[in-house]
């Protein structure tokens, strides 16, 4: 909902921003200082934020985006909140590692190239809601425990769902109450999203016990990044206030469905959908080039769209998660699906299925756009690169055919190596910088190596 600081007697101004890897941060100031904040910005120590500057040069400044103003519903006192750009403290010039700036520049690059004047992204939010979660990670303890009344699993054998209404494994898709115990919580979350001003398509129970989904309509690039950050914030806070815990982890439970964040997307020019045509699945030639760009750069792209070690525990066979880089009509084992129901000119689009909710949404969507634009500019061929279409489920296809299709990376370090080799498409128009990519890779490599050094409980079962 559009709001102006003059509309109400606000007590506080809350400034929100994202670091390089997508963590959401905030800083709260008295509302009476608005004019000074608007003029000069607010300084902060970026060295304490993942992926930003070092201690000796960490001073940066937050500059508010006035068009992003909204009333934060989780503050007790009247608080107006803004998304912010991160700028250099001394010059107020652009900071090349600011995710929001990257998103803005990607959109401008698309327009300057004359390819399209708008791109719309529609994310699907998949998440688990648990009753209790305990995490213990130290030198001599490595454990997590998850409790779900709906899923009939707890910390020990004494935890019992005595209602008789619970969900069996992988049986939750579109289930109804009383088996779906989160209808009201999803309703509360959805009301907050709608009140904020985002158009919501639907909410429903997902396949896994305690797993949920909310899908919103498609929005421009920068707005999509803001939408994702704020919706995750809303989901976490509504659950917290109801003594529940929400997670977007791609694979929080072994042998249970993972959480993805599929991205529907299409390009427009002069109000016309550039993806609508008479090719396979109703795609235009431009749409096919865009798809080929995503798949051609798919391995390096996953460093941004699937940036956690946990991401690759989801991208395995048997869970409707893509493991091969190909496209298809309606095939949910494909990396890119053309929705069969989206047949009208305005609705024709593609869905990129590998991403998950651990991504930095500004960088992930900007990277997807840059890959697609590269496909259009260089007229990358789907056929010549063996990208399909393949309409069968991978499990039912000839093994010799499947082996010839490019695979998704199987772990984070592999994806980061692919990014090192293939990132020129991201540098076009100065959208991404070598500095950002280098800093991102260094941070994520350290994260992956820290994970690799730690003994795992399953290793004790195997080797103790």
| Residue 377 CA: distances (Å) to CA of 298, 380, 383, 415 | 17, 8, 17, 24
H-helix or E-strand spanning residue 292 = helix 285-296
User: What is the structure's pLDDT at 56?
Assistant: 44
pTM as predicted: 0.95
**Would residue 8 show up in a list of annotated catalytic residues for this protein?**
no
Residue 208, phi then psi, degrees to nearest 5: -75, 150
Name the residue with higher pLDDT: 347 or 60: 347
Contacting residues for 444 by C-beta, under 8 A, at least 6 apart: 21, 303, 307, 412, 416
Residues 260 and 325 reside in one and the same domain = yes
Among the listed residues 98, 213, 374, 418, the single catalytic one is 213
User: Given a cut of 70, is residue 36 above it in pLDDT?
Assistant: yes
Which domain, by its residues, includes 362? 118-463
Among the listed residues 332, 345, 424, 442, the single catalytic one is 332
pLDDT band at 162 (very low <50, low <70, confident <90, very high): low
Domain boundary among 95, 110, 131: 95
**Would residue 206 show up in a list of annotated catalytic residues for this protein?**
yes
State the total domains in the chain.
2
User: What is the structure's pLDDT at 55?
Assistant: 46
Residues 140 and 188 reside in one and the same domain = yes
332 is in an annotated binding site: yes
Residues 436 and 209: their CA atoms lie apart, in Å, by 39
124 is in an annotated binding site: yes
Residues 197 and 51 reside in one and the same domain = no
CB 342 within 8 A of CB 329: no
Residues 399 and 261 reside in one and the same domain = yes
Assigned domain for 402 exists? yes
Residues 446 and 338 reside in one and the same domain = yes
418 is in an annotated binding site: no
3-state secondary structure at position 88: strand
User: What is the structure's pLDDT at 45?
Assistant: 77
**Would residue 88 show up in a list of annotated catalytic residues for this protein?**
no
337 is in an annotated binding site: no
Residues 323 and 386 reside in one and the same domain = yes
Exposure string (b/e) for 370-393, b if CB count within 10 Å is 16 or more? bbbbbbbeeebebeeeebbbbeee
Assigned domain for 139 exists? yes
User: What is the structure's pLDDT at 437?
Assistant: 97
Assigned domain for 107 exists? no
Average pLDDT over residues 100-119: 98
Among the listed residues 7, 45, 184, 450, the single catalytic one is 45
Among the listed residues 186, 203, 264, 353, the single catalytic one is 353
pLDDT band at 122 (very low <50, low <70, confident <90, very high): very high
218 is in an annotated binding site: no
CB 368 within 8 A of CB 318: no
The DSSP secondary-structure symbol of 90 reads T
Among the listed residues 126, 180, 356, 374, the single catalytic one is 126
414 is in an annotated binding site: no
Query: Taking Cα atoms as reference points, which of 410, 396, 237 lies closest to residue 323?
Result: 410
Residues 79 and 71: their CA atoms lie apart, in Å, by 6
Name the residue with higher pLDDT: 187 or 90: 187
Residues 211 and 258: their CA atoms lie apart, in Å, by 9
User: What is the structure's pLDDT at 381?
Assistant: 97
User: What is the structure's pLDDT at 65?
Assistant: 96
Q: What is the CATH number of the domain that holds 309?
A: 3.30.590.10
Structure tokens at 67: 């068009």
Residues 283 and 188 reside in one and the same domain = yes
User: Given a cut of 70, is residue 454 above it in pLDDT?
Assistant: yes
Residues 433 and 436: their CA atoms lie apart, in Å, by 5
345 is in an annotated binding site: no
Residues 74 and 184 reside in one and the same domain = no
Among the listed residues 206, 226, 356, 374, the single catalytic one is 206
Q: Which residues pair with 30 in a beta bridge?
A: 12
CB 324 within 8 A of CB 354: no
CB 96 within 8 A of CB 247: no
3-state secondary structure at position 60: strand
**Would residue 434 show up in a list of annotated catalytic residues for this protein?**
no
Domain boundary among 34, 63, 95: 95
User: Given a cut of 80, is residue 168 above it in pLDDT?
Assistant: no
Percent over 70 (pLDDT), the chain: 95
pLDDT digits (tens, 9 = 90+) for 125-157: 999 999 999 999 999 999 999 998 888 777 766
Average pLDDT over residues 280-296: 98
Residues 10 and 34: their CA atoms lie apart, in Å, by 10
pLDDT digits (tens, 9 = 90+) for 353-396: 999 999 999 999 999 999 999 999 999 999 999 998 998 877 77
Residues 88 and 123 reside in one and the same domain = no
Assigned domain for 17 exists? yes
pLDDT band at 292 (very low <50, low <70, confident <90, very high): very high
Residues 192 and 18: their CA atoms lie apart, in Å, by 21
Assigned domain for 103 exists? no
Residues 262 and 202 reside in one and the same domain = yes
**Would residue 97 show up in a list of annotated catalytic residues for this protein?**
no
pLDDT band at 269 (very low <50, low <70, confident <90, very high): very high
pLDDT digits (tens, 9 = 90+) for 309-327: 999 999 998 777 899 999 9
Q: Which residues pair with 326 in a beta bridge?
A: none
Assigned domain for 106 exists? no
Query: Taking Cα atoms as reference points, which of 245, 192, 162 lies closest to residue 71?
Result: 192
**Would residue 447 show up in a list of annotated catalytic residues for this protein?**
no
Structure tokens at 169: 């494994």
Assigned domain for 314 exists? yes
Residues 151 and 135: their CA atoms lie apart, in Å, by 19
Among the listed residues 98, 180, 226, 351, the single catalytic one is 351
Among the listed residues 14, 72, 124, 150, the single catalytic one is 124
Residues 51 and 156 reside in one and the same domain = no
Residues 307 and 119: their CA atoms lie apart, in Å, by 23
Residues 91 and 122 reside in one and the same domain = no
pLDDT band at 163 (very low <50, low <70, confident <90, very high): low
**Would residue 332 show up in a list of annotated catalytic residues for this protein?**
yes
314 is in an annotated binding site: yes
126 is in an annotated binding site: yes
User: What is the structure's pLDDT at 60?
Assistant: 87
Q: What is the CATH number of the domain that holds 18?
A: 3.10.20.70
Length of the chain: 464
Domain boundary among 60, 95, 130: 95
**Would residue 213 show up in a list of annotated catalytic residues for this protein?**
yes
Assigned domain for 425 exists? yes
Residues 365 and 52: their CA atoms lie apart, in Å, by 20
Structure tokens at 59: 């001073």
């Amino acid at each position: 909902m559009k709001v102006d600081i003059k509309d109400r007697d606000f007590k506080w101004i809350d400034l929100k921003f994202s670091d390089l890897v997508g963590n959401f941060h905030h800083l709260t100031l008295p509302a009476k200082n608005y004019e000074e904040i608007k003029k000069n910005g607010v300084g902060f120590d970026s060295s304490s934020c993942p992926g930003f500057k070092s201690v000796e040069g960490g001073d940066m400044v937050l500059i508010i985006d006035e068009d992003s103003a909204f009333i934060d519903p989780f503050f007790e006192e009247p608080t107006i909140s803004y998304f912010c750009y991160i700028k250099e403290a001394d010059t107020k010039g652009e900071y090349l590692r600011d995710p929001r700036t990257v998103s803005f520049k990607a959109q401008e690059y698309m327009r300057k190239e004359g390819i399209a004047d708008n791109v719309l992204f529609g994310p699907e939010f998949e998440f688990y809601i648990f009753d209790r979660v305990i995490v213990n990670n130290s030198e001599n303890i490595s454990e997590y425990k998850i409790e779900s009344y709906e899923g009939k699993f707890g910390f020990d054998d004494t935890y019992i769902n005595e209602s008789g209404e619970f969900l069996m494994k992988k049986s939750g898709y579109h289930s109804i109450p009383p088996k779906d115990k989160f209808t009201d919580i999803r309703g509360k979350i959805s009301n907050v999203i709608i009140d904020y001003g985002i158009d919501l398509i639907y909410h429903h129970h997902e396949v896994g016990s305690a797993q949920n989904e909310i899908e919103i309509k498609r929005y421009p690039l920068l707005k999509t990044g803001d939408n994702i950050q704020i919706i995750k914030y809303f989901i976490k806070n509504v659950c917290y206030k109801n003594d529940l815990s929400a997670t977007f982890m791609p694979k929080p439970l072994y042998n249970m469905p993972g959480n993805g964040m599929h991205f529907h997307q299409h390009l427009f020019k002069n109000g016309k959908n550039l993806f609508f045509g008479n090719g396979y699945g109703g795609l235009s030639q431009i749409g096919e080039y865009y798809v080929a760009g995503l798949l051609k750069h798919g391995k390096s792209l996953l460093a941004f769209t699937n940036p956690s070690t946990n991401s690759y525990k989801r991208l395995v066979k048997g869970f409707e998660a893509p493991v091969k880089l190909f496209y298809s009509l309606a095939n949910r084992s494909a990396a890119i699906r053309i929705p069969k129901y989206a047949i009208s000119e305005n609705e024709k689009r593609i869905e990129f299925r590998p991403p998950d909710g651990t991504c930095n949404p500004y960088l992930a969507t900007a990277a997807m756009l840059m890959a697609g634009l590269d496909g259009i500019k260089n007229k990358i061929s789907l056929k010549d690169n063996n990208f399909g279409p393949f309409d069968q489920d991978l499990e039912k296809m000839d093994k010799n055919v499947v082996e010839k299709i490019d695979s998704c990376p199987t772990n984070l370090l592999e994806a980061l190596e692919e990014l090192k080799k293939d990132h020129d498409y991201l540098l076009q128009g100065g959208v991404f910088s070598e500095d950002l990519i280098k800093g991102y890779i260094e941070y994520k490599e350290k994260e992956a190596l820290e994970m690799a050094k730690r003994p795992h409980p399953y290793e004790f079962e195997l080797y103790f």
